[in-house]
Amino acid sequence: MATEELAWKTLYNQFMFWSIIVGLIVFVWMIYSILRFRQGMVDESTLEKLEPGTFPKERDNLRLETAWVVVPSILVAWLCVLSWTSLYDAWGNPPSDEEAFIVEVTATQWNWAFTYTEPIVIEEVADGLPYPIHLSVSEGTILVSTSTMDVNLTAIWTNGPANGQFNISSGLATQNTIVDLHEMFSLTITDEDGLQVYSYVRYSAQTASSGEVFVPCDRDIKMTMTSERLGEADAVLHALFLPEWGVKEDIVPTIETMIYFHPYETGTFDVVCAEYCGMRHAYMTGQITVVANPDSKLESCGGGA
């Protein structure tokens, strides 16, 4: 488990422990007082007749009053320290634009649009494939290689309006073509039976996707968010909520807001709107997929141990 995630879980456990202690003190005393001094439990004729605004000096107990003020104050102050630490970690210490993977989020009624500010690659290999497949894409060449010459594969690629197909029969295939690295590039490879064994998708900077976004594992992710008008639908208040990481932030018309987090494992997780935004608010959902990051040292992110 990453150091930051372990520290966060420790902080959360401490906060919950001391919250329970404070709650027990308050509620145990409150329940005792309700039951012990309820009507009929005390003979009211034996009680002192106290006058409003006065307190008998002989009933004063400075030690008890001091303890009653100091001990709860220390507990509440400690909870404030824990809360402030987590609040600062979550919202007060954003990653820099140079370090973070930034995604621009546009919320409309009722859809999420995600725009990448730098390229991201999503690769998928069929389970149990006995040989590796390596793909290299440049402005003028698509190069595919395998570790064996005993397979006959078919590659189909698209790049914006361009597309093509070529075979891989000798463990190596080179397709000389113009590749526009400013457009989305995708390539799928199928075997002789027509079964897909490999897929590759590269989203370039400034390309957008609707309802689904891909981010790299083990890297700071920052999302800058705005709300916009779509057709006759007004720009309204939304809130991007990522339950997997417990982060949420309002998206306010005419104001740019921001959210950030750091994923430590790959997978597909929910994106929901947590602010009522109209008739189809409940259907304003999406997916965020954390993809492998070869630069990571975490096995859970597809990197080294």
Give the span between the Cα atoms of 100 and 221, in whole angstroms: 5
Please report where in the chains the tokens 């080294």 appear, as a residue: 304
pLDDT of residue 18: 82
Please, what's the largest Cα pairwise distance for the chain?
Answer: 105
Do residues 303 and 296 make contact, with C-beta atoms less than 8 angstroms apart? yes
Strands 172-176 and 196-203, sheet pairing:
unpaired
Backbone angles phi, psi at 159, to 5 degrees: -150, 90
DSSP 147: S
Cβ neighbours of residue 255 under 8 Å, at least 6 residues apart? 226
What parts of the chain have a pLDDT lower than 50? 1
Give the span between the Cα atoms of 121 and 198, in whole angstroms: 13
Residue 33 CB neighbour total at 10 angstroms: 10
Q: What is the pTM of this model?
A: 0.70
Do residues 241 and 143 make contact, with C-beta atoms less than 8 angstroms apart? no
Cβ neighbours of residue 82 under 8 Å, at least 6 residues apart? 11, 14, 15, 18
Do residues 139 and 159 make contact, with C-beta atoms less than 8 angstroms apart? no
Give the span between the Cα atoms of 215 and 226, in whole angstroms: 19
CA 37 to chain centroid, in Å, comes to: 50
Do residues 202 and 185 make contact, with C-beta atoms less than 8 angstroms apart? yes
Do residues 298 and 217 make contact, with C-beta atoms less than 8 angstroms apart? yes
Give the span between the Cα atoms of 163 and 50, in whole angstroms: 92
pLDDT of residue 1: 45
Backbone angles phi, psi at 215, to 5 degrees: -135, 150
CA distances from 291 to 134, 148, 218, 287 (A): 17, 27, 10, 13
Q: How many CA atoms lie within 13 A of 272 on its CB side?
A: 13
Q: Alpha helix (H) ranges present in 37-127? A: 62-87
Tell me the torsion sign for CA atoms 198, 288, 215, 202: positive
> What are the residues facing 11 on neighbouring strands?
none
